[in-house]
């Protein structure tokens, strides 16, 4: 899979590149921590089945995994093993965040049963055989296919999701897989910052709550789209 040019982030020098990476990781940590804190106890706000799913999930792991991204700031050129682990780190954060998004919008998700069945995202055995998988049981590839089919995210974000997933799969190290470079990985992290800001800002929240992390997400998302493409929260 090629790495689209719009994802390239160019810095004047390596010192500037690394400091920008650290800053972007800090923003990701702030947003992931806010998402985990609010949505881990969303009873009375999210639909009951969605709130139950989110309450049982380990959303608290996601900000911890986000902090781990700081480990990949240096050295400039990561050894292959570190690069494989770095992609797995980013991929796990992405996958968890996408499950969170589908869990919040569980009603819309369940109303898309025909689409999920068409993607063969169904349970094969047991009393629920033939029914679609809930978000917490859906394979990453099926999540990507579902998001693509429903056009839930912009094309650039869907491309980023597929790219990170592909690189993350190198963790199953046996056959040869492309793992890219440390520069490519850090660019993907910077673009994930925009994606998670988009995701966070599109979730519903009580209007009387003031969240600093949500304001941050709104600023990041607004800075990355033109005035004709500005999205608003539900």
pLDDT in tens, 141-156: 999 999 999 999 999 9
Does residue 135 lie in a domain region? Answer: yes
Distance separating alpha carbons of residues 155 and 161, to the nearest angstrom: 10
- For position 23, what pLDDT does the model report? 95
Q: Give me the domain span that covers residue 186.
A: 22-224
User: Three-class SS of residue 46?
Assistant: strand
Does residue 190 lie in a domain region? Answer: yes
The answer to whether 63 and 36 are in contact (CB under 8 A) is: yes
Does residue 2 lie in a domain region? Answer: no
Give how many domains the chain has, as a whole number: 1
Does residue 142 lie in a domain region? Answer: yes
The answer to whether 1 and 163 are in contact (CB under 8 A) is: yes
The answer to whether 74 and 186 are in contact (CB under 8 A) is: no
Does residue 16 lie in a domain region? Answer: no
Query: What is the C-alpha end-to-end distance of the chain, expressed in Å?
Result: 34
Helices (H), the chain: 14-39, 48-56, 61-68, 80-104, 106-110, 113-118, 140-150, 155-168, 182-201, 212-223
Mean pLDDT of the chain: 85
Does residue 173 lie in a domain region? Answer: yes
Does residue 141 lie in a domain region? Answer: yes
pLDDT in tens, 71-122: 999 999 999 999 999 999 999 999 999 999 999 998 998 898 888 888 887 7
Does residue 189 lie in a domain region? Answer: yes
């Amino acid at each position: 899979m090629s790495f689209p040019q719009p994802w390239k982030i160019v810095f004047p020098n390596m010192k500037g590149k690394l400091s920008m990476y650290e800053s972007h990781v800090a923003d990701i940590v702030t947003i992931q921590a806010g998402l985990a804190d609010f949505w881990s106890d969303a009873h009375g706000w999210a639909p009951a089945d969605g709130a139950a799913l989110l309450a049982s999930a380990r959303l608290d792991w996601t900000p911890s995994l986000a902090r781990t991204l700081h480990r990949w700031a240096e050295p400039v050129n990561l050894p292959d093993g570190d690069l494989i682990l770095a992609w797995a780190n980013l991929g796990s954060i992405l996958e968890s965040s996408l499950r969170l998004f589908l869990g919040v919008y569980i009603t819309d998700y369940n109303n898309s049963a025909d689409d999920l069945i068409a993607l063969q995202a169904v349970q094969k055995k047991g009393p629920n055989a033939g029914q679609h998988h809930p978000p917490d049981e859906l394979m990453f590839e099926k999540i990507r296919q579902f998001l693509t089919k429903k056009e839930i995210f912009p094309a650039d974000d869907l491309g980023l999701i597929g790219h990170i997933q592909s690189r993350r799969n190198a963790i199953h190290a046996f056959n040869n897989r492309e793992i890219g470079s440390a520069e490519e990985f850090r660019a993907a992290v910077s673009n994930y910052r925009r994606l998670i800001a988009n995701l966070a800002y599109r979730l519903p929240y009580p209007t009387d709550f003031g969240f600093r992390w949500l304001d941050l997400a709104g600023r990041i998302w607004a800075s990355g789209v033109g005035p004709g493409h500005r999205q608003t929260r539900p």
